[in-house]
Amino acid sequence: MARSRFLAGSVTVSCCSITVSWLALLLLSISMNKNSEPTDSTRLLSQVDHLVYATPDLNRGIAEIEQLTGVRASPGGQHPGGGTRNALVALGPKSYLEIIAPDPDQPAPSTPRTFGIDNLQRSKLVTWAAKANDLEQLKLQAERNGVPLALVSPGSRKRPDGVVLSWQTTRTATAVGDGIVPFFIDWGQSPHPAQSAATGLTLIDLRAEHPDPQEVQHVLSALGLDLQVRKGTNAALIATIKGPRGTVELR
């Protein structure tokens, strides 16, 4: 009898051990699945193609970014007919920071330069570009969600090594969000600019402030974008960037 009780006890302990093991595996599986789900921040960073840092003078903008982050931007190229030129720093494999300014080697364009550059008194993060693969389809989807987009338009520039980059862009049909709502860009067959830009920085967060955050957040959500907007006195994009000088904020 004693032996039978011992064996029965052994079976009971063994079953408990198996139950505990399965419970541990279940909890581990749940934890791994939870950790594998993309967070809002992860989704947002995957949507960022580039940030636009506009400045009255390109050399000044390059120096400001280098002083802040410890990385000096590499020359990007001219925008023919646009009256601007840029310099770039990669923020990841497929994202970058564009420093853009008037180009003294081009005649002044007949229309105002992009991003309000003509009226800038200081350098600032003025807007961002979101990734897209089919802008015409995106335009249709946005209109279904109540956000009309402007016509898809082409652009190009020549890199210092002679390679010509071509792209297409579209933006909201009416100005909204003071730069917080991005424009969309499709690089088509062109190599992504991050591949040839200076390296050393990583974008780890992007957030925004606006006097009317609910309206701006509504438009962003309708476009399928995960940028979070909080109430602020002025419209502002705030990028958190990690580099040689630690983690810094760029506005």
The residue that leads in pLDDT, 74 or 34, is 74
What does the pLDDT average to over 93-101? 98
Alpha-carbon gap, residue 54 to 111, rounded angstroms: 17
Do 100 and 120 have their domain in common? yes
pLDDT at 102: 97
Do 25 and 92 have their domain in common? no
To the nearest whole number, what is the mean pLDDT of the chain?
88
Alpha-carbon gap, residue 78 to 30, rounded angstroms: 51
Give burial (CB, 10 Å; 0-12/13-18/19+) of 99: buried
What does the DSSP assignment read for 78-147?
Answer: EETTTTEEEEEEEEETTEEEEEEEE-TTSPPPSSPPGGGGGG-SS-EEEEEEEE-S-HHHHHHHHHHTT-
Do 3 and 118 have their domain in common? no
Alpha-carbon gap, residue 80 to 220, rounded angstroms: 31
pLDDT bucket at 36, cuts 50 / 70 / 90? very low
- Res. 39: pLDDT tops 80: no
What residues make up the domain containing 30?
1-37
Do 19 and 62 have their domain in common? no
What stretch of H or E contains 20?
helix 2-36
Do 62 and 29 have their domain in common? no
List, in order, residues 6 or more apart from 109 with CB less than 8 Å away: 81, 82, 83
- Res. 18: pLDDT tops 80: no
pLDDT at 174: 85
Do 3 and 70 have their domain in common? no
pLDDT at 40: 64
Do 243 and 206 have their domain in common? yes
Q: What percent of the chain has pLDDT over 70?
A: 84
pLDDT bucket at 176, cuts 50 / 70 / 90? confident
Do 7 and 128 have their domain in common? no
Do 17 and 140 have their domain in common? no
- Measured CA to CA in angstroms, residue 215 lies from 61, 212, 234 at distances of 31, 6, 14
pLDDT bucket at 41, cuts 50 / 70 / 90? confident
The pTM is what?
0.83
Q: Are 57 and 86 in contact (CB under 8 A)?
A: no
What does the pLDDT average to over 120-129? 96
pLDDT at 13: 40
Q: What is the total count of domains within the chain?
A: 2
Do 102 and 218 have their domain in common? yes
Q: What is the chain's Cα-based Rg?
A: 25
- Res. 242: pLDDT tops 90: yes
- Measured CA to CA in angstroms, residue 53 lies from 23, 57, 123 at distances of 51, 11, 7
Do 109 and 183 have their domain in common? yes
What does the pLDDT average to over 149-167? 93
Amino acid at 176: V
- Res. 135: pLDDT tops 80: yes
Q: 102-120, pLDDT tens digit by residue?
A: 999 999 999 999 999 999 9
Domain with 226 in it: what CATH number? 3.10.180.10
Q: Can you tell me which residue has the tokens 């807007």?
A: 127
Q: 210-239, pLDDT tens digit by residue?
A: 999 999 999 999 999 999 999 999 999 999
Reading the block at residue 223, the tokens are 């476009």
- Res. 245: pLDDT tops 80: yes
Do 170 and 233 have their domain in common? yes
pLDDT at 181: 97
Angle at 20 between CA 17 and CA 26, to 5 degrees: 140
- Measured CA to CA in angstroms, residue 80 lies from 77, 100, 120, 121 at distances of 9, 13, 21, 24
